[in-house]
Structure 1
């Protein structure tokens, strides 16, 4: 509760969360734009999907780059990144041709790719480690809620103004961005250069825990995105109507948002590795039930899948930041960018399985993905290991080298 009070009393944190909501709501708006774009530019479904690919793809691949920018120059540009995203997205509705629209989507994706790592590093700098898991979960949850609210916002703005309704998204984005620019103009929120130089001198990176963190994040993203992507088509084949399977897919997103807050609180109490491994073990039956028993009960399985399989992304983000504490921006960019990329790659793989064996079999295959990942999750760094890593940060270079040769495990 103390962390919640501290979060909601901190104007910068609240504004960052609102900014995250806005940036991710643009992603949720894109599918609602598709019918308008198809009519305006005479497109097919495959071609119109290039808009989403341009936006999310550019956002994903650019995040590590802008994470390095945050490590070097600080995060004072967070507000400008949000303003760039808002302005470029607003311009999308006025594109005179489809190629120009794709170009605008690429530019807007750069803004998204800049905001995410800079925002995550800023959250880390504004709160002490004591409640960081909970704070990061709240920040990530704001983005998830924005993604879920995007389609609803899209129905409203495009209903009012047609495709040019993108302009209505300009004002809230620019207002939030302006506050961030003013609030952060006097502080760089940069990682101190001293520790970065000492880590570089020691030449020691916790490769096994870091690889495990990346692997678990990739697995979690694949499962979550695959279930969200194929649930509507599966239920349509089963004879259900959009009013049923639309809310069902949204339930997974909303449950992941609520679950993220819960797992953040549990991680502050019991440690991140314990919570991540525990939720992975419990998500095995959750995913199996979702695939095995479709129907009205699917809403219950969707809540379980969302709150278990999709809720630990903030914990993975904080783990990566601690493992690469001198490169927290790069760590943030890698982890969050990886989430987009893994989902983009995993969905076609799952789709290929669905084409050959059926959608239900493809969803069952995600149970195997989770099972394979559980042993990998056991290699995640424990709290004592992270404590030793923090001690290494403060130790002389010679001592760091000694610890590097002696350490490297995840226990």
Structure 2
């Protein structure tokens, strides 16, 4: 698979492209919401939140289980089967009439990305030689770019052909699944020797305080992020903004977030994980409120800056957890990219209820306060030397 510290760039590229598609699919359901409102006037903000949460929870909460399993034995088939499974389940969402069947399909689709992410991130770790941090950040950035493409590609598709067009969105999933089947690493791989359950428990106990702070930060940040993706399309529609214009605003926020994620990885190497996480999250809230109270180009600039600061800590929190439990990297990825995000996804139902009871503007106000709360919680994280300083001391 690889010799010495040789970096397998071709395989990393394939996995990164697959991550981009997986995360595009992960932002699939929020793009359907304005169209579901048109088809069913009784489609409330709470129902929207439940639908998005069904996917978020199933795709996230069980990721630590996949992570523990993959720390023991990698299974390459999870990346291509998981991708195909999610594509098939989501392609059916536009042709069902019953709301609860739609929720079930959303929950089943989430299992595909839950299978993909820990195995793919572990493959990146093994294939990256001595450039693990940079290449993991790039892998995560591809996912964020895919997430950003969701509104840009799906909203025009649904606008032109209706929700029944979901059936054709299975095609890129089939293509990428075949690509992974042919070109992903041929061997079942894991990030290291198989740890026993007692070793894992001991590792978690020793880092319990630090992990608790990191997971709480991610959960609150995820609540803000998922809340925006769920509520903002409904809010924009209530303000008589067209679906296309609203999708462009969301795309700008998400693309800026992807770029912010790359920049955040580099900044955290120089100044430390904690400083980047706390500073960027606290800065996000005033930028979001500046967007809320601005118009035109200035408002768009504030939204881009807010998205960049909110997501600049995305990959950094994953690396921070892996540094806290270095012998269980896939489990750390599952806890941060999965479990913590799932908790945030579950709580977004409360944001939906706020929108139904007090109005969508109140829900947006609460969402914009969440990043600063996450930043304050980040102050409880353990301070570690910046990665650049650690490497210079090791020489």
Q: Which bracket does the TM-score occupy, shorter chain normalised?
A: 0.7 to 0.9
1:30 is the counterpart of 2:29: yes
Aligned to 1:302: 303
Deviation digits for residues 344-383 of structure 1, max 9, x if unmatched?
Answer: 3443444555667665555454565444443432333444
Q: Is the 8 A contact 2:271 2:386 kept in 1?
A: no
Matches of 1:310 and 1:292, distance apart in 2: 21
1:264 is the counterpart of 2:265: yes
Farther-moved stretch of structure 1 (350-359 vs 177-186): 350-359
* CA pair 97-207 structure 1, distance change in 2 beyond 3 A: closer
* CA pair 348-50 structure 1, distance change in 2 beyond 3 A: closer
- Displacement, 1:305? 0.9
Matches of 1:197 and 1:357, distance apart in 2: 47
Q: How does 1:64-75 map to 2 (within 5 A)?
A: 64-75=64-75
Aligned to 2:255: 254
Aligned to 1:57: 57
Matches of 1:37 and 1:341, distance apart in 2: 24
Matches of 1:104 and 1:181, distance apart in 2: 24
Q: How does 1:109-120 map to 2 (within 5 A)?
A: 109-120=110-121
1:21 is the counterpart of 2:20: yes
Q: How does 1:313-328 map to 2 (within 5 A)?
A: 313-328=314-329
What TM-score do the two structures reach when normalised by structure 1?
0.76
Structure number with bigger Rg: 1
Q: What SS class does the counterpart of residue 188 from structure 1 fall into?
A: coil
* Alignment: residue pair count: 383
* CA pair 206-168 structure 1, distance change in 2 beyond 3 A: same
Q: What is the aligned-residue RMSD (CA, Å)?
A: 4.0
Matches of 2:383 and 2:346, distance apart in 1: 30
- Displacement, 1:331? 1.9
Matches of 1:349 and 1:240, distance apart in 2: 25
Deviation digits for residues 280-328 of structure 1, max 9, x if unmatched?
Answer: 3432432342344455522121111101122211111122223223322
- Displacement, 1:100? 5.2
Farther-moved stretch of structure 1 (344-353 vs 133-142): 344-353
* CA pair 346-58 structure 1, distance change in 2 beyond 3 A: closer
Q: What SS class does the counterpart of residue 326 from structure 1 fall into?
A: coil
Q: How does 1:143-222 map to 2 (within 5 A)?
A: 143-155=143-155, 163=163, 165-184=165-184, 186-193=186-193, 199-200=199-200, 204-222=205-223
- Displacement, 1:121? 2.0
Q: Is the 8 A contact 1:7 1:13 kept in 2?
A: no
Q: Is the 8 A contact 2:60 2:339 kept in 1?
A: yes
- Displacement, 1:214? 0.7
- Displacement, 1:190? 0.8
Aligned to 1:142: 142
Matches of 1:378 and 1:47, distance apart in 2: 35
Farther-moved stretch of structure 1 (281-290 vs 108-117): 281-290
Matches of 1:48 and 1:291, distance apart in 2: 22
- Displacement, 1:31? 4.4
Q: What SS class does the counterpart of residue 297 from structure 1 fall into?
A: helix
- Displacement, 1:336? 1.8
- Displacement, 1:218? 1.7
* CA pair 148-40 structure 1, distance change in 2 beyond 3 A: same
What TM-score do the two structures reach when normalised by structure 2?
0.79
Deviation digits for residues 141-176 of structure 1, max 9, x if unmatched?
Answer: 222222232244335655787655444333332332
* CA pair 34-63 structure 1, distance change in 2 beyond 3 A: same
Matches of 1:216 and 1:309, distance apart in 2: 12
Matches of 2:315 and 2:216, distance apart in 1: 15
Q: What SS class does the counterpart of residue 87 from structure 2 fall into?
A: helix
Q: Is the 8 A contact 1:218 1:339 kept in 2?
A: yes
* CA pair 110-239 structure 1, distance change in 2 beyond 3 A: closer
Aligned to 2:132: 132
Matches of 1:55 and 1:330, distance apart in 2: 20
Matches of 1:79 and 1:278, distance apart in 2: 37
Matches of 1:270 and 1:278, distance apart in 2: 11
Farther-moved stretch of structure 1 (115-124 vs 149-158): 149-158
Q: Is the 8 A contact 1:38 1:48 kept in 2?
A: no
Farther-moved stretch of structure 1 (309-318 vs 104-113): 104-113
